[in-house]
């Protein structure tokens, strides 16, 4: 079964510092990978997605992620954290080869200090 | 901006009781989904629904769960006889496209279910 593992339930950074949220995947089919974000009191929303095109994917709000097959990773980065980036971030992989429904990880809470 | 709305935001129920969670998907979306997240655990897929029938479901979605689109706007999740382990945040989502969708689901804020 396809799955993702997010390393670290909480990540704390200072405003202006690099954000790195880690995600490793396991998939028996070519993976389609996603990052979703959930701001307080809101639903999850798509940040970016990898669907077998360019390995470096750019998303909204300055985030990007790089697909590395050799490392089975899809880490999310942002060069400079902003206070408004504080949220829960979810990595996901599609459920199966015939499905594009995402299967999510546990989530990583990003805390941004002034 | 169109959004998915869920009611109630929080429901407390006694074990064994039936619960119905309601969702209003985005109006031009055709595919609907339920997920749940038990506290501290992964967001788990339950079921997807299209054209008035279940298109995919997970092993979690057993006979105690059912989904329905009773009218043109609502999408409901019914849990027939709740158990303590059903306590979770339940998320509804919708999308314009289904099997060709590349992952952009639009989620509601969630309904927190507490079973006592």
Q: What is the pLDDT of residues B37-56, one digit of tens each?
A: 998 888 999 999 998 999 99
B10: phi then psi, degrees, rounded to nearest 5: -150, 130
Distance from the first to the final alpha carbon of chain A: 41
Predicted confidence band at A94 (pLDDT cuts at 50, 70, 90)?
confident
- Nearest partner of A110 among A43, A48, A37, A45, judged by Cα: A37
Q: What is the pLDDT of residues A35-92, one digit of tens each?
A: 999 998 888 899 999 987 789 999 999 999 999 999 999 999 999 999 999 999 999 9
Q: Are strands A102-104 and A108-113 parallel, antiparallel or unpaired?
A: unpaired
Predicted confidence band at B98 (pLDDT cuts at 50, 70, 90)?
low
Distance from the first to the final alpha carbon of chain B: 37
- Residue of chain A whose Cα is closest to the Cα of B91: A43
Beta carbons of B102 and A104 less than 8 Å apart:
no
Please indicate whether residue A100 or residue A61 has the higher confidence score (pLDDT).
A61
- Give the torsion sign (CA, B26, B23, B35, A74): positive
Q: Is the model's pLDDT at B10 over the cut of 60?
A: yes
Q: Residue B68: what pLDDT?
A: 95
Across the A:B interface, residue pairs with CB atoms under 8 Å apart total: 67
Predicted confidence band at B58 (pLDDT cuts at 50, 70, 90)?
very high
Q: Which two tokens stand for residue A54?
A: 């360019």
Q: Check residue A107 and report its DSSP letter.
A: -
Q: Residue B102: what pLDDT?
A: 64
User: Alpha-carbon distance A104 to A110, whole Å?
Assistant: 17
Residues of A in contact with B44 (CB under 8 A): 104
């Amino acid at each position: 079964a396809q799955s993702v593992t997010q390393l670290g339930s909480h990540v704390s950074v200072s405003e202006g510092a690099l954000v790195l949220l880690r995600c490793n995947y396991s998939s028996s089919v070519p993976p389609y990978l996603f990052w979703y974000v959930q701001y307080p009191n809101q639903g999850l929303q798509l940040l970016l997605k990898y669907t077998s095109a360019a390995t470096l994917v750019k998303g909204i709000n300055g985030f990007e992620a790089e697909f590395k097959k050799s490392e089975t990773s899809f880490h999310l980065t942002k060069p400079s954290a902003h206070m408004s980036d504080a949220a829960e971030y979810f990595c996901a992989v599609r459920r199966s080869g015939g499905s594009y429904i995402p299967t999510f990880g546990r989530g990583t809470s990003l805390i941004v200090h002034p | 901006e169109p959004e998915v709305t869920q009611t109630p935001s929080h429901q407390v129920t006694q074990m064994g009781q039936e619960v119905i969670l309601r969702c209003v998907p985005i109006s031009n979306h055709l595919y609907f989904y339920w997920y749940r997240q038990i506290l501290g655990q992964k967001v788990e897929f339950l079921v997807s629904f299209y054209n008035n029938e279940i298109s995919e479901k997970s092993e979690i979605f057993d006979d105690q769960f059912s989904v329905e689109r009773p009218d043109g706007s609502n999408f409901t999740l019914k849990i027939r006889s709740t158990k303590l382990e059903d306590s979770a945040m339940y998320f509804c989502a919708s999308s314009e496209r289904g099997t060709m969708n590349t992952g952009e689901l639009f989620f509601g804020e969630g309904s927190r279910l507490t079973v006592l």
